[in-house]
């Protein structure tokens, strides 16, 4: 950076400065000459400078005007680089032309918007070949969690519905400047071409899951009673006295597909 930048808390700015961690992330991305990359939150360029020039095209999305100004200077002459100085939550990814192999998304994400951002990306996941993110360790654990565990919930189910999930490695707080108060981890997501348990209406699936987990400690027949009764649950082979965190993704899909049929 040409000028000194003071990290902005409201934008979740924790900049990577540990070269070994940066190397590991770049190795995990392994950018190819033909890849179309999208980096979310390039910040001061810790990853960006290692990705630019090693791919067909790099789009970066950065909300901070001062940081964006540095990129527009640095890459003014580069036809393989496009800066979008916008809020990624408002960014319409479907304006990008479709690519045969899909875009590859990378980001050391701002932790304060991680859940809405993940859902925003799931909404247009067909555009993406894969996504590699740094997130709060606790969020990564929730995304990977299996039924029966404490971390299992809406984020686990909807992440695993949309993507194949792979937790790669932890990253200590000391790798960042300023240091965050939490530990972090790298996760890779590969959107399914066809989900293993396809939902007729993924929005309805999400709403069933949200309702079930809104009262996590209640039995399913209680938390879902506005949607279906225990007899209908039983006819699907699901005991209504079970709790939300014990059901598999496939069982949630069964419930949501049944509701969808009943609504037709
Ligand atoms: N990639 C850099 C690195 O690894 O050092 C910076 C990562 S920092 C954790 C998150 C970055 O996301 C910051 O540059 C921040 O300004 C940017 N950011 C925060 N909220 C954003 C939003 N809503 N849309 C786009 N960028 C955002």
**pLDDT value of residue 24:** 98
3-state secondary structure of 226: coil
DSSP string, 112-159: GGHHHHHHHHHTTGGGEEEEEEEEEHHHHHHHH--TTSTT-SHHHHHH
Tell me whether residue 114 is in a domain: yes
CATH number of the CATH domain containing 237? 1.10.8.100
**Are residues 219 and 120 part of one domain?**
no
**Are residues 165 and 97 part of one domain?**
yes
What is the distance in A from the centroid of ligand 1 to the CA of 195?
30
Number of domains in the chain: 2
**pLDDT value of residue 264:** 79
**Are residues 168 and 122 part of one domain?**
yes
Cβ–ligand 1 contact at 108 (below 6 Å): yes
Domain-ending residue, one of 191, 212, 234: 191
Cβ–ligand 1 contact at 42 (below 6 Å): yes
Domain-ending residue, one of 140, 169, 191: 191
Tell me whether residue 220 is in a domain: yes
Question: Which residues in the chain show pLDDT less than 50?
Answer: none
Cβ–ligand 1 contact at 68 (below 6 Å): no
Residue 41 near residue 110, CB atoms below 8 Å: yes
Cβ–ligand 1 contact at 63 (below 6 Å): yes
**pLDDT value of residue 242:** 96
What is the distance in A from the centroid of ligand 1 to the CA of 108?
7
**Are residues 156 and 130 part of one domain?**
yes
pLDDT digits (tens, 9 = 90+) for 28-75: 999 999 999 999 999 999 999 999 999 999 999 999 999 999 999 999
Domain coverage including residue 227: 202-263
* d(C-alpha 6, C-alpha 147), whole Å: 42
CATH number of the CATH domain containing 172? 3.40.50.150
3-state secondary structure of 8: coil
Domain-ending residue, one of 153, 170, 191: 191
Report the residue among 8, 110, 184 best suited for mutation to probe ligand 1: largest number of ligand atoms under 8 A from its CB. 110
Q: What is the mean pLDDT of the chain?
A: 96
What is the distance in A from the centroid of ligand 1 to the CA of 13?
6
* d(C-alpha 160, C-alpha 197), whole Å: 10
Tell me whether residue 4 is in a domain: no
């Amino acid at each position: 950076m040409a000028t000194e930048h003071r990290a902005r808390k409201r934008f979740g700015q924790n900049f990577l400065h540990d070269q070994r961690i940066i190397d590991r992330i770049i190795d995990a991305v392994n950018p190819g000459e033909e890849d179309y990359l999208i980096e979310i939150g390039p910040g001061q360029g810790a990853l960006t400078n290692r990705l630019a020039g090693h791919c067909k095209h790099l789009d970066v999305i950065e909300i901070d005007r001062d940081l964006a100004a540095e990129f527009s200077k640095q890459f003014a002459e580069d036809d393989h680089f496009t800066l979008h100085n916008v809020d990624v939550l408002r960014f319409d990814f479907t304006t990008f032309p479709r690519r045969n192999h899909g875009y590859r998304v990378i980001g050391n994400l701002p932790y304060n918007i991680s859940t809405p951002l993940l859902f925003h990306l799931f909404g247009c996941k067909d555009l993406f070949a894969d996504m590699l993110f740094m997130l709060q360790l606790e969020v990564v654990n929730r995304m990977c969690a299996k039924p029966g565990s404490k971390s299992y919930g809406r984020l686990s189910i909807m992440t695993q519905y949309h993507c194949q999930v792979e937790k790669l490695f932890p990253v200590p707080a000391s790798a960042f400047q300023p240091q965050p108060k939490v530990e972090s981890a790298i996760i890779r997501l590969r959107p399914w071409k066809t989900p293993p348990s396809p939902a007729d209406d993924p929005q309805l699936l999400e709403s069933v899951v949200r309702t079930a987990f809104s009262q996590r400690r209640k039995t399913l027949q209680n938390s879902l009673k506005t949607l279906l009764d225990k007899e209908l649950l039983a006819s699907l082979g699901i005991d209504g006295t079970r709790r939300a965190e014990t059901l598999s993704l496939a069982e949630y899909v069964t419930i949501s597909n049944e509701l969808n049929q009943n609504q037709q």
